[in-house]
Structure 1
Amino acid sequence: MSFSRIDDHWLAGARACPSPHYNSRPDSEDISLLVVHNISLPPGQFDGPYIEQFFQGNLDADAHPYFAQIRDLRVSAHLLIRRDGSVIQFVPFNERAWHAGISCFDGRQQCNDFSIGIELEGTDTLPYTDQQYQSLAAITQTLMQYYPAITRDRITGHQHIAPGRKTDPGHVFDWERLHLLLYTA
């Protein structure tokens, strides 16, 4: 699958699944950070419909005991990369997705204002798949082309912008592998 084009802030090749959990950025031109996350719902389980439902605000809290804990959260990300490398887009890139929460990068607070959030279907402790790294690298190259303020040194993990509060994408995420793929893919 090719992720080499963005049309009106939507990634070509991604499946659109619009979320109501977003709002306008303070400056829609200020897109200068890429934040990598992970998510699995229920925790540690993959391939179900629950992440999409969660980001769309229609997660059935009775479908799993864990869901009662998150039933009132209103969160989203711009993209989700599934274990097979397929991609779902929830929020157009020029809008503010609600992924980073209380956060700081390079002295600047409120990272949602100027970042793109990409969720990898996974956990902090299980290795990510080859397909996920390939998709993430291809998408990152495209994002860097369309939003040139996102540079190699402005790609980070949730754990780095919210230390002590967040741990994703975790110690198993291979940053060196991603950086190598960015320049060889």
Structure 2
Amino acid sequence: MQLDPASGWFEGVRHCPSPNFNARPTGEISLLVIHNISLPPAQFATGKVQEFFQNRLDVTEHPYFEGIAHLRVSAHFLIERDGGVTQFVSCLERAWHAGVSLFEGREGCNDFSLGIELEGTDDLPFTDAQYQALTALTLELQGTFAAISTERIQGHSDIAPGRKTDPGPAFDWTRYRAALAQGEGQ
């Protein structure tokens, strides 16, 4: 897995381009936001997240889909339960993942952030493969976008408190940050 800094696309991951993005107003990339998602809720490996981010979700397939079909959202990346990584939007573009958000007094986190979705829920443990892929992806991103320090890696719940709860209490921040610290020394 390697980032092409000229295009903002990773080599060695699945590409599933989403139409839900636009240009960054400043070009700045200085925040990484961790999310979780599963469609339908708590069901994995359905392919529905990919369809959702591509505006191709069939609302007749599940009652939950009717309530989200009107949304136009995306993230830069999805890490599935088996550790597989899919990229939806170039890192150089603004994906629509954070919504109404605030970090260090600055609104509109989509303008200056990258979003990584973990396939999961707030209350189910994430897999070893997901933590490994997330660590490798994060280290590669930090190597290209130096402003993304460990302190500038936040959960969706941190930048949209009261509105969002992900990645949730099942996400092991201590494990993730320890893995990043070990990777930085290599």
1:127-174 CA deviation, whole Å, 9 max, x = no partner? Answer: 000000000000000000001010010000000000000000001111
Q: Which contiguous aligned blocks of 4+ residues in structure 1 show a shift greater than 6 angstroms?
A: none
What's the counterpart of residue 19 of structure 1? 18
SS in 2 for 1:135: helix
Q: Which amino acid aligns with 2:64?
A: Y
Partners of 2:73 and 2:140 in 1: CA distance: 24
What's the counterpart of residue 6 of structure 1? 3
- Gapped runs of 5+ residues in structure 2? none
Q: Write out aligned runs for 1:1-185 (5 A).
A: 3=1, 5-7=2-4, 8-28=7-27, 30-185=28-183
TM-score (norm 1): 0.96
- Once the two structures are TM-superposed, the CA of residue 13 in structure 1 deviates from its matched residue by 1.6
SS in 2 for 1:26: coil
Aligned length: 181
- Gapped runs of 5+ residues in structure 1? none
Q: Which amino acid aligns with 1:174?
A: D
Q: Among all aligned residue pairs of Structure 1 and Structure 2, give the percentage whose two residues are the same amino acid.
A: 59
Partners of 1:118 and 1:130 in 2: CA distance: 16
Partners of 2:176 and 2:128 in 1: CA distance: 11
TM-score (norm 2): 0.96
